[in-house]
Structure 1
Amino acid sequence: MQRQWRGKLPFNRKKPPENPGSMETIEKRCLELFARDYKFSIIHNSNGEVCGHYPRQIVFLEYECVDVDRDRFESTVQISKLQDLVSRSKLARCRGRFVCPVILYNGKHICRSSTLAGWGELYGRTGYNYIFSGTKHTHTHTDKNTLPKFSTSHDIKLLQYLSVRYICDLMMENKKVKFGLNVTSSEKVDKAQRYADFALLSVPYPGCEFFKEYKDRNYTAEGLVFNWNQDYVDAPLTIPASFTQKLNIDWTQYQSWDLVEQTQNYLKLLLHIINNDDDCGLLVHCISGWDRTPLFVSLLRLSLWADGAVHANLEPAEILYLTIAYDWFFFGHMLPDRLSKGEEIFFFCFNSLKHIVSEKFSVVRKQRRKYSHFRDGDLTVEDLCQLREYETRMLDPSITHRLMHFKCLFPSIFFKSSWTRPASPQES
């Protein structure tokens, strides 16, 4: 989705629409929904000065707001220290999309980011910032040898400060290559082994282009298997034995899984990681961090919510609003562009909820919460339409028609056994 910024434009992004619409309304609503369950601080990013495609108000969850007679899980992170590490580390990752905590589960942070930046982007972005910032460059260690070390060392410090131990890399490649050049790197192929103290999981998952095939198959993910024999695919599935042995999954068959089974098994793995380590958090990332990353962040948030483990005070329409607005929209998923290309990973995310309703995806051994219908509240499902005021003007009528059907997506998918996607005017 295109973002509305005041001031300087994000790095290498097209100019957004001039009318801010209800951006402030959506931001305010998200903060209200977070406040139902959490005490939080804000990292201000109003002009994109921290990151050009992160929220204007980045929420850092500190602890749950629970009754005094219940145990309370608190983060040990200080917001001032966090902001300093963010400022120093953001050049280390592609597009400046630094490690950002987005879910707080039992005192552990689930984070998102992009992959590590290649040296070309690192120096290009440094030069861009130097030219257009209007201030003197703050880093003194900027020669060819020390700048990558400087940024990466602070990226590692940020991960350690957030108590992140597990890094889940969704890239199909070891390094992203364009025109014969390595434009990004990743922790798993870091020659200096600077990320050796972390548990690195390579769980290759198809990029947004693959979801054009999902759309072309009438939105049927069952039986849709990725072609692993393509030249650019060189990242094997690599998971520590301690995880593979505890899950009843034959990981050697991962290349034969269809899109449903692959998504299910990866989600089971992520839930197992965060539920079986009492102290350490998790980082999930792909290349840019705005397609595959929000897919799994959103599924994690919704699955944990279904157990009452996070956002316990939110109703179905409210948690849906929050994950669409915050996990997808505010973190830079370019929905109009993806829809125009038929790359409907956003739709797949919510259509796949029907595949994760069983107890196999539960982090608690109790009945998952159920609703027979929505309860009336301050937030109605129609409020979701506000999220589309920016992009509907940019879409053709068939895409707009399909988006407007999204207001009934959540009750239809999550609380019924099956659901058929509404046809667009061109399809009907």
Structure 2
Amino acid sequence: MQYRAKEVTPRVEEIEKHCLELFARDYKYSIIHNANGEVCGHYPRQIVFLEYECTDVERDRFESTVQITKLQDLVNRSKLARCRGRFVCPVILYNGKHICRSSTLAGWGELYGRTGYNYIFSGGADDTWTESEEVLEDDSAVRNGDSQLFDKVRGHDIKLLRYLSVRYICDLMVENKKVKFGLNVTSSEKADKAQRYADFTLLSVPYPGCEFFKDYKDRDYTAEGLVFNWNQDYVDAPLTIPVCFTQNLNIDWTQYQSWDLVEQTQNYLKLLLHIINSDDESGLLVHCISGWDRTPLFVSLLRLSLWADGAVHASLEPSQILYLTIAYDWFLFGHMLPDRLSKGEEIFFFCFNFLKHIVSEKFSAVKKLSDNFGELWTNLPASRDRGSVTSLSSEFSLITEEAGGASSLTTDTVDMFSSQPQASSWRKGTTSSPQMVVWNKQNPLEEHLSHPLNEARSSSSSSSNQSEHSVTRTGSSPLAVPGRRCPLLSERQARLEAVREVFLAAYSSTVGLKSSAPSPSGAISGLLEQFARGVGLRGTNAIV
């Protein structure tokens, strides 16, 4: 379903409660109140403002100087500045920096209509709009973008950004202004004629909207080779990045229109990680148009990538961080999953399936102690950062542990929106290698040694001439499977693969992948069918 703050059920209340519990594991936080959606109808009723990490007293503590009462006031005042009232909202805290999300700026049409509506139906008592002449301005003045109305509304938005110490704004829109029926219904910071956002560092990083992901679904969920058509009439926003962020990334940004969906998403994520790792203490805002498709895609990838490095949500296990990012970043911020699925625009699935493409240490935001080992690992052919050339045919990397010859399966049933995940709890097994970690169950399913999933992977591995099995012994160095090439799993890779496997299991048993045509290469649907049956997830609607 799509979340609406005014239509909360007991089930949704459980989701809200569980999200707060997961945030509380690692952070001291305050609440920005949005009861019944009074500030924004598709934002959480209780918006979490992370103040500082509270789990490890030995680590440097970055405490916020933000006062929650003042933040609440700025939020209330700035809600009209952005499309659909989706104001600048902090969602991730990393090294004292706030990573925020929002929609784009409201254009004159929406702003004029909404302020007039609010004024009329509040009896003129809205404390933000006390003078009728500000609301009932001449259309031409509002259209020009230099009116007092724009000055006031966007001024509040700028005050909120500054209060959160946000300096960098990454705009994912492929257009400068969104046009519908010949009217500019939304705008963006880069198109503000009065240059009100000149003091911020604006990055135009155009990324295809949710409609493009129907092509992804129609290509049997294969992003490799899928290139956006940049010659469409409405696409008028060029990629614009300050020189300081184009250095040290080894990316030829001039070729961005030739990148496929994999390379484009990888490079944009590298850019965002580079920005939040800059030397200053400034925060980051990421937004698209409405802020409920492309925005959660990159917010979720950032959260999961930083978690995989141990930089955020340090105490959460794979199923828990997956629950948090799906429930909070996607559901409670209003992602329209039923609508997107009905249109085949599967950007939500793409986000979590894409984790296979960012397992490399090249995407790590944390400097590893063993850099030389990391470089060696990332250069191994079997662990190149684009992942396998077959879409889903070699996706399921089992992490096994030697225990009397038995295999420890790393996936199980998970109800993504229950207060208690059904999966057995995960534990972090340590080995002598600082780069090696094993995420496995406390109760291994030993009877699954001859598992349908193993058979699917063996078939897939033989077709790609690769094997990704990894066997370890507690307290010893990882051992290679005799006769097979077996690169070591870094902690980052092990974590992200664990998250992705839990997601695929849950997704295949609930939503399901709907292949538009038989796959000539990977037989995706058939492989996931085996996967679902193997771990007991086969349902009536598992895979169509």
User: Structure 2-normalised TM-score?
Assistant: 0.68
> Matched residues in 2 for 1:354 and 1:133: separation?
51
Distance 1:408 1:300, change over 3 A: farther
Q: CA deviation at 1:286?
A: 0.2
Distance 1:167 1:419, change over 3 A: farther
> Matched residues in 2 for 1:290 and 1:172: separation?
15
Q: CA deviation at 1:189?
A: 1.2
Q: Indicate whether 1:83 and 2:72 are aligned.
A: yes
- Matching residue's letter, 1:76: T
Q: CA deviation at 1:123?
A: 1.6
- 8 Å contact 2:511–2:541 — kept in the other structure? no
Which residue does 2:299 correspond to in 1? 297
Which residue does 2:151 correspond to in 1? 149
Q: How does 1:144-293 map to 2 (within 5 A)?
A: 144=137, 145-293=147-295
Which residue does 2:48 correspond to in 1? 59
Question: What is the DSSP-based 3-state SS (H/G/I as helix, E as strand, rest coil) of the residue aligned with 1:27?
Answer: helix
Q: CA deviation at 1:128?
A: 2.7
Q: Indicate whether 1:109 and 2:111 are aligned.
A: no
- Matching residue's letter, 2:84: R
- Matching residue's letter, 2:130: T
> Matched residues in 1 for 2:398 and 2:162: separation?
39
Distance 1:419 1:100, change over 3 A: farther
CA deviation string 1:334-363 (max 9, x = no partner)? 000000000000000000000000001001
Distance 1:37 1:406, change over 3 A: farther
- 8 Å contact 1:45–1:57 — kept in the other structure? yes
Distance 1:373 1:405, change over 3 A: farther
Which residue does 1:345 correspond to in 2? 347
Q: CA deviation at 1:130?
A: 3.2
Distance 1:353 1:406, change over 3 A: farther
Question: What is the DSSP-based 3-state SS (H/G/I as helix, E as strand, rest coil) of the residue aligned with 1:268?
Answer: helix
Which residue does 1:10 correspond to in 2? none
Q: CA deviation at 1:308?
A: 0.3
CA deviation string 1:371-411 (max 9, x = no partner)? 9489xxxxx95231549xxxxxxxxxxxxx984536999xx
Q: CA deviation at 1:425?
A: 6.2
Q: Which runs of 5+ in 2 are unaligned?
A: 138-146, 375-396, 402-411, 420-504, 514-521, 530-539
Which residue does 1:92 correspond to in 2? 81
Distance 1:219 1:192, change over 3 A: same
Question: What is the DSSP-based 3-state SS (H/G/I as helix, E as strand, rest coil) of the residue aligned with 2:62?
Answer: coil
- Matching residue's letter, 2:332: F
- Matching residue's letter, 1:2: Q
- 8 Å contact 1:215–1:342 — kept in the other structure? yes
CA deviation string 1:37-74 (max 9, x = no partner)? 00001112121001111001100001110333331111
> Matched residues in 2 for 1:149 and 1:419: separation?
56
Q: CA deviation at 1:165?
A: 0.5
> Matched residues in 2 for 1:78 and 1:372: separation?
45
Question: What is the DSSP-based 3-state SS (H/G/I as helix, E as strand, rest coil) of the residue aligned with 2:186?
Answer: coil
> Matched residues in 1 for 2:124 and 2:398: separation?
55
Question: What is the DSSP-based 3-state SS (H/G/I as helix, E as strand, rest coil) of the residue aligned with 1:47?
Answer: helix
Distance 1:301 1:324, change over 3 A: same
User: Structure 1-normalised TM-score?
Assistant: 0.86
Number of equivalenced pairs: 391
Q: Indicate whether 1:127 and 2:116 are aligned.
A: yes
Higher relative contact order by CA 8 Å / sep ≥ 6: 1 or 2? 1
Q: CA deviation at 1:33?
A: 0.2
> Matched residues in 1 for 2:295 and 2:415: separation?
25
- 8 Å contact 1:114–1:286 — kept in the other structure? yes
- Matching residue's letter, 2:95: N
Distance 1:78 1:181, change over 3 A: same
Question: What is the DSSP-based 3-state SS (H/G/I as helix, E as strand, rest coil) of the residue aligned with 1:43?
Answer: strand
> Matched residues in 2 for 1:4 and 1:127: separation?
24
Q: Which has the larger radius of gyration?
A: 2
Q: How does 1:351-390 map to 2 (within 5 A)?
A: 351-366=353-368, 372=399, 382-386=414-418
Which residue does 2:474 correspond to in 1? none
Q: CA deviation at 1:427?
A: 6.8
Q: Which runs of 5+ in 1 are unaligned?
A: 7-15, 375-379, 388-400, 410-417
> Matched residues in 2 for 1:22 and 1:65: separation?
29
- 8 Å contact 1:290–1:328 — kept in the other structure? yes
Question: What is the DSSP-based 3-state SS (H/G/I as helix, E as strand, rest coil) of the residue aligned with 1:109?
Answer: strand
Question: What is the DSSP-based 3-state SS (H/G/I as helix, E as strand, rest coil) of the residue aligned with 1:92?
Answer: coil
> Matched residues in 2 for 1:426 and 1:51: separation?
34
Distance 1:402 1:43, change over 3 A: closer
CA deviation string 1:214-255 (max 9, x = no partner)? 000000000000000000000000000111122100000000
- 8 Å contact 2:5–2:44 — kept in the other structure? no
